[in-house]
Amino acid sequence: MQDKGIPPGLGGAAPALPTRTLRRILAAGSIVVPGVTDALSARLVERAGFPAAYVTGAGLANSVFGLPDVGLVSRTELVEQVGRIREACRLPLIVDADTGFGGPLSVMRSVYQLERAGASAVQIEDQQDPKRCGHFEGQRLVTPPEMAEKIEAAARARSNPDLMVIARTDARNVMGLAEAISRAEAYLAAGADALFVEAPRSEAELAVVGSAFPGVPLVANLVEGGKTPLLPTARLEELGFRIILRASLLLRSMVSAAREALARLAADEADPAIEDRMISWGERQELVMLDEFDSLADDIRTERGGTV
């Protein structure tokens, strides 16, 4: 809820920022961060009690545009979606900004706009454009000095020192784990606040990454069916990881449920299991805060002494 009792999206104060910064949350231990693609999925994550949400580039491309994760979403489209998500929830938002949408100056522009839209952390990767999902094949990398310039630019662009810059390297898939660690070291020296070595192949490789960066917030990206093993959070924390992404879990679960519902409808429109597997009408309206909007309309009507 915003200031003066005005629900999200109707004016009043700017969208509320998180009451706890991502830095403070991470200082207390590891966190599991589900991926979100829109305002409704972000609100579901918030209601489920998770401490942060991950605005997934792959999920946004898939769900909003019906596109694969091959670098087709623009900065403007991402910034607009982050703004919508920020209006709907108060969780810290880790935003996947792909390659930063260009060179150092473009990265600065991206960080500037994403911070204003409500990002708590901005993730930038060392791929060339067009980028590809880290669990695909065929990535092409920029040089370490090029990426280091982007990280330095990102750190310089933020106005809020609590905004975190996350440097991701996809070198494991292209050049091996040793190169990935070497690149991550360079990005840390350039000013990254957290490191994301994408797609380690085993628990042993995760352990190598963790031991290379003691005390540094590390990201583990657990993709069901992907390249990295799905280890328990407690074990990943032991290995040194603080941000445990489950970027595709919510989107893929929602698609699975929708596909099942449509199949049941196609087979038998009277199948009682269709309604049984839905949230209720009341739950739907509560999720989008209908009572709060109706209450505000009633207050305005009463103050004016008439009808709205």
Say what the pLDDT of residue 197 is. 97
For the chain, 308 residues long, the average pLDDT of each consecutive 10-residue run is 64 69 94 97 97 96 94 96 95 97 97 96 94 80 97 97 96 95 98 97 97 97 93 97 97 95 90 86 93 91 70
Q: What is the pTM of this model?
A: 0.93
Say what the pLDDT of residue 134 is. 67
Say what the pLDDT of residue 4 is. 53
Say what the pLDDT of residue 6 is. 78
* CB crowding 234-249: b at 16 or more within 10 Å, else e: eebbebbbbbbbbbbb
Residue 111: CB atoms within 10 A of its CB come to 26
All structural domains of the chain, each given as residue ranges with its CATH number in brackets, are 3-249 (3.20.20.60), 256-304 (no CATH)
Question: Cα–Cα distance between 307 and 111 in angstroms, integer?
Answer: 45
Say what the pLDDT of residue 3 is. 46
Say what the pLDDT of residue 135 is. 75
SS3 for 141?
strand
SS3 for 240?
coil
Nearest to 18 by CA among 57, 56, 38, 46: 46
Length of the chain: 308
